[in-house]
Amino acid sequence: MTVATPEAPAAPLPPRKPRKIFLVVGLVAAVALGIGLFTSLGTSASSGPPHRGGPVPSFTAARLNGAGTLQVPGNGGGAGTPAVLLFFGSWCPSCHGELPPLAAAVRRQEEEGGALAKVRVIGVDSEDTKSVGAAFVAHSGVQFPVLRDPSLAITSGDFYFDGDPDAVFVNANGTISAIVPGALSVAKLTAEEKKLIPSGS
């Protein structure tokens, strides 16, 4: 009878070297993470919805009730011009009650030529076709310039509004004085406009 002799233990395998591809992928991921963290630290303060004291979002849009375009800030708030941005649409039930008295108040301010006549009032009509929007503002007695926003790029994209009406009051230096969600009364319009006028003007 033969007795089995134990086999000698196998020699340990040399440690595996990591593949170069995994080293490269790991390095790229680490660099990307570091860049993302660094850049987010620099931009987090300016991201998010517009707010009181912050800059008014910049946009340019075609006029609904006239030719050409208007730019905000600039001739619509900023560059020494205070402004009110009124957001509305014909599809919005409360806009039908809000807009005619606001339009009449703005006309009176311009006719009187006082301090409030220096405030530029600009409408932003959202989600309407050109013909429907033009008919709505004409029926409401609007004579101030109205910009088109058929795809909500301004209303929802730049200002984060999820419906109309809304109003944004812009100081002469292009910063936001107030944001008023919902229907705006003539009294509230006038009170917020007065805050845009430097004392003694």
Per residue in 20-66, pLDDT tens?
A: 444 444 443 443 434 333 333 333 344 689 999 999 999 999 999 99
In a domain, 28, yes or no: no
Q: Is residue 174 part of a domain?
A: yes
Q: How many whole angstroms separate alpha carbon 16 and alpha carbon 187?
A: 78
29 within some domain:
no
Asked if residue 20 belongs to a domain, the reply is no
Q: What is the pTM of this model?
A: 0.77
The boundaries of the domain holding residue 88 are: 62-196
Tally of domains within the chain: 1
pLDDT of residue 35: 35
Residue 97 lies in a domain: yes
Express each pLDDT in 128-182 by its tens digit: 999 999 999 999 999 999 999 999 999 999 999 999 999 999 999 999 999 999 9
∠ CA 136-165-79, nearest 5°, is 95
Alpha helices for the chain (secondary structure H): 20-43, 93-112, 130-139, 186-196
**22 in a domain, yes or no?**
no
Report the CATH number that the domain containing residue 177 is assigned in CATH: 3.40.30.10
**Runs of H (alpha helix) within 50-122:** 93-112
